């Protein structure tokens, strides 16, 4: 039973990995070379977006806040 279950998991992983790999190329980001943008008082952002997601690195001063909001794509 375990062998069949493992085979199914491996097949699912292989098919989803192949699909994802075709979605967009892998990019390597160097956080230190990305421009830091001031997005509000006390908050800077370094970010990069693809077709289905956005990577964001925030630096926030003590007591800084971000208003409640939402995005159409995934945020990391």
Q: Give me the pLDDT at residue 44, please.
A: 94
Look at 4-8, 67-71, 72-76 and tell me which has the smallest mean pLDDT. 4-8
Q: Give me the pLDDT at residue 46, please.
A: 93
pLDDT per residue over 12-64, tens digit each? 444 445 555 556 677 788 888 999 999 888 999 999 888 778 888 999 999 99
Q: How is the chain split into domains, by residue range?
A: 2-75
Confidence category of residue 4, pLDDT binned at 50, 70, 90? very low
Q: Give me the pLDDT at residue 22, please.
A: 59
Half-sphere CA count of 46, side-chain side, radius 13 A: 10
């Amino acid at each position: 039973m375990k062998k069949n279950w493992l085979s199914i998991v491996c097949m699912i992983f292989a098919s989803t990995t192949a699909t994802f790999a075709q979605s967009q190329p892998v990019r390597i980001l160097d956080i230190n070379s990305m421009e830091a943008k001031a997005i509000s008082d006390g908050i800077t952002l370094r970010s990069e977006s693809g077709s289905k997601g956005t990577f964001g690195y925030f630096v926030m001063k003590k007591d800084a806040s971000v208003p409640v909001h939402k995005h159409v794509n995934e945020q990391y």
